[in-house]
Amino acid sequence: MAVAPTIGELLGERVRELRKKRGLTQVQLSERCRVPQSRISAIEKGSHVPNVETVIRLARALGCRVAALMSVFDK
């Protein structure tokens, strides 16, 4: 029986997907949103769920709406 991914894992996969689509490294994304690279890594791994402020910073840094970042939860 498959284990459903956690909220953190789903969001992390979405952040990684959008970052790679934009051709950004974790370091570049971290510089754009003023969040440590280690935090970007933890978010993408699903071991850290960002707060609302960080989600907004990520969306701006990725050039997308917060809704686009969170669309993974619409399924």
Q: For the residues of 10-65, what is the DSSP string, one character each? A: HHHHHHHHHHHHTT--HHHHHHHHT--HHHHHHHHHTS----HHHHHHHHHHHTS-
> What's the pLDDT tens digit per position in 13-68?
999 999 999 999 999 999 999 999 999 999 999 999 999 999 999 999 999 999 99
Specify the fold of 7-74.
434 Repressor (Amino-terminal Domain) (1.10.260)
pLDDT at site 45: 97
All structural domains of the chain with their residue ranges? 7-74
pLDDT at site 3: 85
